[in-house]
C-alpha cells in the first residue's frame, strides 16, 4: 500500500488553489499500484491515477471520469475491460451509504439517493433526459436547471453514464 504522508508539498502543489489542505484517496482496480494516496486539494482523479502508476493495459479507461476534483475519503475504482458492463463495485458517500447510479437509466428514487438531489432535481434530471435524449457525458448534467458546478462535483463520483 502507498501512503505518502511524509512527502513535502511542492511549490506547484501549494499554488494549486492557495491552500495546503491534504486529501486521502483510495484507488483500486486496474491501476499499477492500488492503494491509499495523500493528495492536495484541487487535484483531480487523473492526478491520483498517475500517482498510482497509471492504468493497466486491461483498464476500461472510458468508464472513469478523469476530470473530477478529488475530495477527502474519496474511493476511485478503475474497472477492467468488460467489467464496466457488469456490476461495478459500488462507491460510498461520506455517510457510508453505498450507491452508484447509472445516469441514463436512473429512476427518480435512485436519483434521490444521491447527495443534494431531492424530488424536484430528480424530476428535472429525468425531464431533461426525456427532452434531450441520453446524456452524452456526465458534465452535461450541469445543463439541468438547478445543477451547477458545485453540485456536479459532489455528484460525479457516484454517477456513470451507462
Distance CA 155, CA 58 (A): 27
Q: Is 64 exposed, middle or buried (0-12, 13-18, 19+ CB in 10 A)?
A: buried
Structural domain boundaries in the chain: 1-87, 90-162
The DSSP bridge pattern shows strands 35-40 and 22-29 to be antiparallel
Instruction: Write the pLDDT tens digit of every residue in 75-110.
Output: 888 888 876 444 333 444 444 443 578 898 888 878
Looking at domain 1-87, its CATH architecture is Roll (3.10)
Of the chain, the percentage scoring pLDDT greater than 90 comes to 23
Distance CA 111, CA 120 (A): 11
Q: What pTM did the predictor assign?
A: 0.46
CATH number of 90-162: 1.10.150.320
Residue 25 C-alpha cell reads as 484517496
Amino acid at each position: 500500500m502507498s501512503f505518502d504522508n511524509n512527502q513535502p508539498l511542492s511549490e506547484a502543489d501549494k499554488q494549486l488553489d492557495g491552500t495546503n489542505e491534504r486529501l486521502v484517496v483510495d484507488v483500486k482496480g486496474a491501476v499499477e499500484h492500488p492503494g491509499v494516496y495523500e493528495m492536495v486539494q484541487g487535484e483531480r482523479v487523473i492526478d491520483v491515477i498517475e500517482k498510482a502508476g497509471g492504468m493497466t493495459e486491461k483498464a476500461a479507461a472510458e468508464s472513469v471520469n478523469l476530470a473530477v476534483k478529488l475530495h477527502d475519503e474519496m474511493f476511485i475504482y478503475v474497472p477492467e475491460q468488460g467489467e464496466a458492463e457488469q456490476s461495478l463495485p459500488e462507491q460510498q458517500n461520506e455517510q457510508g451509504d453505498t450507491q452508484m447510479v447509472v445516469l441514463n437509466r436512473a429512476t427518480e428514487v435512485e436519483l434521490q439517493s444521491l447527495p443534494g438531489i431531492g424530488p424536484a432535481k430528480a424530476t428535472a434530471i429525468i425531464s431533461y433526459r426525456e427532452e434531450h435524449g441520453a446524456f452524452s457525458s456526465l458534465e452535461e448534467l450541469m445543463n439541468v436547471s438547478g445543477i451547477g458546478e458545485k453540485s456536479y462535483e459532489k455528484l460525479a463520483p457516484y454517477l456513470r453514464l451507462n
